[in-house]
Homo-oligomer: A and B are copies of this chain.
Amino acid sequence: MDNNNELHIIPHNHKTCVDDRNQLNGHRSLVIWFTGLSGSGKSTLANMLEQHLHDKGIRTFILDGDNVRKGLNKDLDFSDEGRKENIRRIGEVAKLMTEAGLVVIAAFVSPFEEERQKLRSLLGDDVFVEVFVDTPLEVCESRDTKGLYKKARKGEIAHFTGISSPFEPPLHPDVHILTTEETPEKSLERILDTMWPKLACNKG
Contact = CB atoms under 8 A, between A and B. Distances in A.
A72 B48 contact: no
A1 interface: yes
Interface residues of A, number: 52
Contact of A44 (B7, B97, B143): B7
Nearest to A146: B2
A92 B96 CA distance: 13
Contacts of A4: 44
**Copies of this chain, how many?**
2
Contact of A72 (B6, B51, B96): B96
A69 to B, nearest CB: 11
Given A43-B3, A60-B16, A9 B96 contact: no
A3 B143 contact: yes
Contacts of A7: 41, 44, 179, 184
12 contacts: A2-B145, A4-B44, A6-B145, A7-B179, A7-B184, A8-B183, A15-B51, A21-B61, A59-B59, A61-B100, A68-B96, A72-B96
